[in-house]
Amino acid sequence: MAQVLEFKLPDLGEGLTEAEIVRWLVEVGDVVAIDQPVVEVETAKAMVEVPCPYGGVVTARFGEEGSELPVGAPLLTVAVGATDASSASPGDDGAAAEEPSGGSGSGSGNVLVGYGTGAPAARRRRIRPERNTAPAAPAAPAVVSAPSRPAPVAVGEVNGRQGPVAVVSPLVRRLARQHEIDLRGLTGSGPDGLILRADVDSAIRQAGEAGAVTEAAARTAAEPVVAETSTVQVGAAAPAAAERIPLRGVRGAVADKLSRSRTEIPDATCWVDADATELMAARAAMNAASGPSGGPKVSVLALLARICTAALARYPELNSTVDTAAREIVRLPGVHLGFAAQTERGLVVPVVRDAHTRNAESIGAEIARLTELARTGKLSPAQLTGGTFTLNNYGVFGVDGSTPIINHPEAAMLGVGRIMPKPWVHNGELAVRQVVQLSLTFDHRVCDGGTAGGFLRYVADCVEQPAVLLRTL
């Protein structure tokens, strides 16, 4: 006799209270194994797959794709011990759905926080009931199945041929569905024709412009032409309705954090131009010394990160936070360096743990690893929190300078503009050098301008003369 167990949305950690259903991984009637991922959800921190802690037949799902559920809300129900679809009905034993007691053979017994319990996912299969000529008894109304999700666009005609539609992000697919955009008619601008969110946004704008033109033409044809002396008046098209985008998920979390930073932190910004020619030459020499098969190349961001850790060792005031309740400045013992990364989900800040103990190569390897996880939406909440100082390289967007907003509750952020050839006085003569603008936004409660200026000047000196860093190690 089957026992129906209710699986609720677990605590995903880091103080998160809700999650958005991005994609269901199982259907009603599927057989799931213990710790098999059953749904993909997006939180304010990351996109994660949630595993079910026990195995059986899925009898109901709660929540459609795109909807938000609070932690503790029912996610799905599973009939444990069912051998066919008919035994999966919750009406068989007449008992209401209940929580697993833990330690039984039906569940993993592990507490789910953020990610699963580590068991490999079993291949799911559909259980179909055997045909019976006798009239079927009405199903008990104890559990109501949620409507099944629409099938994702997987295969279509692209450029005149049948083939897979190159879409990785479920968020892109959902955005296209919401605006009735046929992904099979789009040409992706990403690698290997990958369809990005920017491609869908462009198609949405084009569809809106085409709709406005059609509406204007229809209104013009329908309204009478009124002659006034030599002027002909025709009806103007109605203005298009404004688009409303919910502030939730990553965008909502970013909005809350930036608003809190501006509200609580009395920040100030100082900046300086630096000659990065020698830094670029040092990077080229390091990468050349490693040889063609000597491992990954050292990036400019990794070198700047290493310079930041050295500067924070000399100016620890900027590696701190403010306890407003206790009215205390808390200087932190280690540097957990965050770096800003732009993804399809928005701006995220992965954190390189214990950056003060790493060299440039180690920092660069960790930045590369975290960047790839950010690109694929697989960063865990723990990898996005706990930073003590942030490095923001907005030069990748082709801009020279900015005034960064501090990543609350940190005390400072270093911004780096693009490195580009500019006229510069070098050794008393005008020359073309590789110049970069550095800007430091700092919490004026933790230090004064002298400390902030000293930190920024040390960073600039290391950029201009990398040997300065070597002398202070």
Known catalytic residues are: 444
Distances (CA, A) of 72 to 47, 166, 305: 18, 35, 40
- Report residue 138: phi and psi, to 5°: -65, 140
Angle CA(318)–CA(321)–CA(323) in degrees, nearest 5?
A: 150
d(CA 359, CA 215): 61
31, burial (CB in 10 Å: exposed 0-12, middle 13-18, buried 19+):
buried
Question: CB-side exposure of 101: number of CA atoms within 13 Å?
Answer: 4
416, 393 Cβ separation under 8 angstroms: yes
Nearest-5° Cα angle at 109, 108 to 112: 90
Q: d(Cα 28, Cα 62) in Å, to the nearest integer?
A: 11
Distance between CA atoms of residues 463 and 473, nearest Å: 15
Amino acid sitting at position 329: I
Question: 196 vs 46, 106, 138, 346, 374, CA distance in Å?
Answer: 18, 41, 47, 13, 15
